[in-house]
Chains A and B, each alone.
Chain A
Amino acid sequence: MINRRMGAIVDRGMAPLLLIPSVLLLLLILVGPFLYMVWTGFTDLHFALPGREGSFVGFDNFRRLVREDHIFWHSFLLTLKFVVWVVIIEFIAGFALALLLFHFIQKRRLFLTLLLVPMMLAPVAVGLIWKLLLQGDFGMVTYYLRLIGVIDERTAILSDSSLVLPAIMLIDLWQWTPFVTLIMLAGLLSLPREPYEAAVMDGAGPLQLFRDVTLPLLRPIIALVLLLRGIDAFKEFDKVFILTGGGPGIATELLSIYTYRVNFKDWDLGYGAVCAFMVYLVVLILCAVFYKAVFWGGGQRSRRAGFAR
Chain B
Amino acid sequence: MTRAWKTAALAAVIVVLVLMLLPYLWIFLTSFKTRLDALADIPVWAFAPTFDHYPKVFIDKGYLPLVWNSIIVATFSTVLSLVVGAPAAYVFARFDFRGKEDLFFFFLTTRMAPPISIVVPMFLLFTTLGITDKPIAVILAHTTFNLSLVVWMMRGFFDDIPRDIDEAAMMDGHSQFGTFLKILVPLAAPGLAATAVLCFILSWNEFLYAFILVAFEGRTLTVGIPGLITPHGTLWGQVAAVAVVATLPILVFTFIVQKHLVRGLTFGAVKG
Question: Which residues on A are within 8 Å of B, measured CB to CB?
Answer: 2-3, 5-6, 9-11, 14-15, 18-19, 21-23, 25-26, 29-30, 32-34, 36-37, 40, 97, 100-101, 103-105, 111-118, 120-125, 128-133, 137-138, 140, 143-144, 174, 178-179, 182-183, 186-187, 190, 221, 224, 228, 231, 234-235, 237-238, 241-242, 256, 259-260, 263-264, 269, 272-273, 276-277, 279-280, 283-284, 286-287, 290-291, 294-295, 298-300, 304, 307-309
Contact = CB atoms under 8 A, between A and B. Distances in A.
A289 to B, nearest CB: 11
B48 interface: no
Contact of A279 (B104, B116, B208, B258): B116
Contacts of A21: 84, 87-88
A287 B108 contact: yes
Interface in B244-272: 246-247, 250-251, 254-255, 258, 261-262, 265-266, 268-272
Interface stretch (B56-64, B138-146, B187-195): B138-146
Interface residues of B, number: 100
A36 B129 CA distance: 14
A285 B17 CA distance: 35
A153 B151 CA distance: 53
B176 A295 contact: no
Interface of B: 5-6, 9-10, 12-13, 16-17, 19-21, 23-24, 26-27, 30, 38-43, 84-85, 87-88, 90-91, 94-97, 101, 103-110, 112-118, 120-122, 124-125, 140-141, 143-144, 147-148, 151, 159, 163, 166-167, 170, 175-177, 180, 201, 204-208, 212, 222, 225-226, 229, 236, 239-240, 243, 246-247, 250-251, 254-255, 258, 261-262, 265-266, 268-272
B43 to A, nearest CB: 4
Nearest to B205: A122
17 contacts: A3-B94, A6-B170, A25-B147, A26-B106, A26-B148, A33-B121, A40-B124, A105-B6, A113-B258, A116-B258, A120-B254, A143-B41, A269-B120, A273-B121, A276-B120, A287-B112, A291-B108
B271 A186 contact: yes
B265 A179 contact: yes
Contact of B26 (A118, A129, A264, A276): A129
B113 A104 contact: no
B120 A272 contact: yes
A46 to B, nearest CB: 13
DSSP class of A's interface residues: helix, strand, loop or mixed? helix
Contacts of B13: 97, 100-101, 105, 111
A9 B271 contact: no
Contacts of A36: 121, 124-125
Contacts of B5: 104
Contacts of A26: 106-107, 110, 144, 147-148
Given A124-B222, A287-B109, A104 B254 contact: no
Given A26-B147, A40-B124, A117-B21, 20 more contacts: A11-B176, A18-B87, A18-B91, A21-B88, A34-B117, A100-B12, A117-B24, A118-B23, A120-B251, A123-B205, A128-B225, A130-B23, A133-B26, A140-B43, A174-B19, A183-B270, A242-B225, A276-B114, A280-B118, A291-B105
Nearest to A101: B13
Given A10-B170, A22-B88, A125-B247, A37 B176 contact: no
Most-contacted residue by chain B among A18, A25, A186 (CB, 10 A): A18
Nearest to A7: B95
Contacts of A5: 167
Contacts of A186: 262, 270-272
Given A174-B20, A287-B108, A263 B120 contact: yes
B64 to A, nearest CB: 18
A61 to B, nearest CB: 13
Contact of A228 (B19, B26, B247, B266): B266
A33 B122 contact: yes
Contacts of A128: 27, 225, 229, 239, 243
Given A19-B88, A36-B124, A129-B27, A122 B247 contact: yes
Contacts of A263: 120
A236 B239 CA distance: 22
Contacts of A116: 254-255, 258, 261
B222 to A, nearest CB: 5
Nearest to A305: B269
Given A116-B254, A130-B23, A183-B270, A298 B101 contact: yes
A132 B26 contact: yes
